[in-house]
Amino acid sequence: MSTYHEVLREPGVLPVMTAQLVARLPAGMLGIAVLLHIESVTGSYASGGAVVATLAVGQALAGPVSGRAVGRWGARRVLLTTVACSAASIMLLAAAPTLFPAQPFAAMLALAFLAGATTPPVQSVARTLYPLLVDSRGVVPLLSLDASLQELIFVVAPVAVTAIAAVYGPVVALAVVASVLLGGGVWLAATREVGQLVMPRSSRRIGRVALQLPVTVGIVLGILLVGASMIVEVAVVAAFEIEPLNAGILLALYSLSSLVGGLVAGRARVGRWSLARRMGVVATGLVLCAAAAGFWAPAVGLLIAGLGVAPAFTVSYLLVSYTVPADATAEAFGWLGTGALIGSAAGSAIGGIVVDGFGAPAAFLMAALFALVGAALAALVSGRLPEPGAAAAT
C-alpha cells in the first residue's frame, strides 16, 4: 500500500507511532494483571473485579484532565509526570500485601484508582500530533493505520500478560506492565516531535469541548461500539464455554477483520455518511452472529462486523482532528477515551446479564442493537457533521 508507505516515510511519523503503540500496550495488559493479582491475594474474583472497576473509573477521569493539562504544561512534562506516577502506583499495587498487611484490599483499591487517574495521555498526544506531521492527504490513512494497529494491542497484550502471570506469577506480570508503560511513555516523551509540540492553553471550562457535535458523537460512538464489542466477547466465551479454542479463534478473527477493514478504509474517501455506513456494517455482522448456532454463523458475522469497527473509529478521530480548535484537541481525544472506557464497563456488565438470563444468541442481538443505535445516531446527525474527508481523500 503505497499510501501507508508514503505516510510512514514522513519525518517523525514512524517514531511517534511506534513509541505510542508500545506505551499503549499496558491498556491491554493492566486489567488482566490486576485481576489475577487481586484473586491470588484474596481468593476472590469479585474483589478483583471491584479493583479493576476502580482502575477503570480512574482512567475515565484521567483522559480529559490529562489531555487538557498538555496545553497548560506541555506534552513532554505531562507525559513524563503521569508515566512515572502511574508506573509507581502499579508497582506499589503489586507490593501492597507486603507494604500494607493490615488493610491490603483497601490499599489496592486506592492504588488502582491512582494508577488509573495518572494514566498518561498517550493517545491524546499522538492523535493531536498526527495532523501536524503529514499533509491533508495523509491524515486519513494515518488515523486509519492508528485505529487498525490498536487492534493488535488487544490481541497480543492479553495473551502475553496472561502467559507471564502463569509462568512467573501476577506480581511479575504487574512489574512487566509497569516497565512497558514507563519505557514506552519515556520513549514517546523523548521524541523530537513531542518536545516541539506547542498547544495554546485553553481558556474555556473543562468539558465544554465535549458539547461540540463531533466530540459528542465520538463519545457516544465509543460507548456503543466498544460496548458492543465487549458484549460480543462475553457472548463468544459463553457460546463456546466447552470449546475455548473456538472462542479464541472467533475473537481473534473479529480483531483481525477490524485491522484489515481499517487498512482498507484508509484509502477511501470519507464523507458525511461514512460513519453511518460503517456502523451499519458492524450491526449487520452482529445480527448474523445470532442467526444460527454453531461455529460458522458467528464466524461469518464477526468477519463482516469487524470490517466496520476500525473504519468507524477512524471517522470519529478524523472529525475531532479537523473540527476541534487546537487548544482543545487533546482534551477532546481524552473525552473519546472516556467514552470507550464507559462502553467497556457497560458492555461487560450488560453482556453478562443477558447471557445469564437469555443465552449467547440474545447477547449477540444486544450487541447488534448497540451498533444499530450507533448507526441510527450517525444517520440522524450526518447532515450536520462536517466533511473533512473531502480535503483529505486519497
pLDDT tens for the 394 residues of the chain, in order: 457 778 888 888 999 999 999 999 998 888 888 888 988 888 887 788 788 888 888 988 888 888 788 878 888 999 999 999 999 999 999 999 999 998 889 999 999 999 999 999 998 888 888 888 888 788 888 888 888 888 778 777 877 888 888 889 999 999 999 999 999 999 999 999 998 887 777 667 787 888 899 899 999 999 999 999 888 888 887 888 777 678 778 888 888 899 888 888 777 677 778 888 999 999 999 999 888 778 888 899 999 999 999 899 988 888 888 888 877 888 888 899 899 888 888 887 888 888 888 888 898 999 999 999 999 999 998 877 776 554 343 3
Q: Are 89 and 115 in contact (CB under 8 A)?
A: yes
Residues whose CB falls within 8 Å of the CB of residue 143, separated by 6 or more in sequence, listed in order: 127, 130, 266, 314, 317, 318, 321
Residue from 1, 11, 13 nearest 268 by CA: 1
Q: Residue 119's pLDDT is what?
A: 92
CA angle 255/311/325 to nearest 5° reads 125
> Could you tell me the CA-to-CA distances from 106 to 38, 258, 358 in Å, in that order?
11, 39, 35
**Structural fold of domain 206-389:** Growth Hormone; Chain: A; (1.20.1250)
Burial class (CB in 10 A: 0-12, 13-18, 19+), 182: buried
Cα–Cα distance, 230 to 344 (Å, whole number) = 6
Q: Residue 382's pLDDT is what?
A: 80
Strands, E assignment, the chain: none
The neighbour count for residue 166, using CB atoms within 10 Å, is: 11
- In terms of residues, how long is the chain? 394
**Superfamily per CATH, domain 1-199:** MFS general substrate transporter like domains (1.20.1250.20)
Burial class (CB in 10 A: 0-12, 13-18, 19+), 54: buried
Residue from 66, 110, 141 nearest 311 by CA: 141
- The domain locations on the chain are 1-199, 206-389
Q: Fold match between 1-199 and 206-389?
A: yes
What are 351's three cell numbers?
453482556
Segment (H or E) for 145: helix 136-168
DSSP state of 382: G
